[in-house]
Amino acid sequence: MNGFEGKKGLILGVANDRSIAWAIAQQIMAQGGECGFTHLPDRADDARQRNRRRVAQLVDPAENAKFLVPLNVQDDETIQAVMQTAKEEFGKIDFLLHSIAWADLEDLKRDTIETSREGFKSAMEISAFSLIAVANAARDIFSEQAAIAAMTYYGGERCVPGYNVMGICKSALDSVVRYLAYDLGPQGVRVNALSAGQLKTLAGVAAGVREMTDLYKAMSPLGRNITHEEVGKTGAFLLSDFSNGVTGEIFHVDGGYNMMGSPGRMLEQIAAAK
């Protein structure tokens, strides 16, 4: 299946080979899509350019990876520079993947009620407002029937202890998805979010949800955890023409965990342990 043959777009937020954004990009490129990538900007005193190097190790060998540039979503000039590069390389873009989130580690370790004011503002700007900023900057280079996908998490829908302030940011991101879907609908641009279950990623480890792996496995109807490949395929679906009638949705890939109203088969394990 070459669902992305002739398609071109942007992948924002790859950090390393365990990033969900990379899993999605791999599926897109395998199906003929061409991708432009961004990386976190390196500090001026970092001669080794660690952020760029991590992503370049993945991107450079990939035939359909066309460029790699820095992106600071707190700086409009940097955002515009990324879109200008995409315009020069691609003309128009058919898809945009937003996989960007951040919160201060100290705030993540605290109870939500103790979140710092500055930490809250930065987390919300980077994790939620950045989707508005990049979508607005890309408006003029979207092709007809282009698609945006953002990465969210169940902690934005329900309280997940340990996810703390990031859960509030994801809740805001989910709302941004719906409002952008409305705003960009007349242009033919679709906007959706992908809510993945438990995966080993940098973001997951930082947010302290790794310990929930066994819980997801026990409660999910499928009785197992998901894989990077499964999330990658679903993310590619949301950015492809196969989902042209879908917009404003929060699409769960979690083995069905999100729809459970009780611990399910986990009750049998609890009963057996007594």
Any residues with CB less than 8 A from the CB of 126 and at least 6 apart, and which?
73, 74, 100, 101, 102
Select from 103, 133, 130 the least CA-distant residue to 118. 103
Catalytic residues: 153, 163
Any residues with CB less than 8 A from the CB of 270 and at least 6 apart, and which?
263
d(CA 69, CA 207): 27
Please check whether residue 150 is in contact with residue 135, taking contact to mean a CB–CB distance below 8 angstroms.
no
For residue 43, what is the DSSP state?
P
The CA-to-CA distance between both ends of the chain, in Å, stands at 50
d(CA 197, CA 181): 23
d(CA 118, CA 116): 6
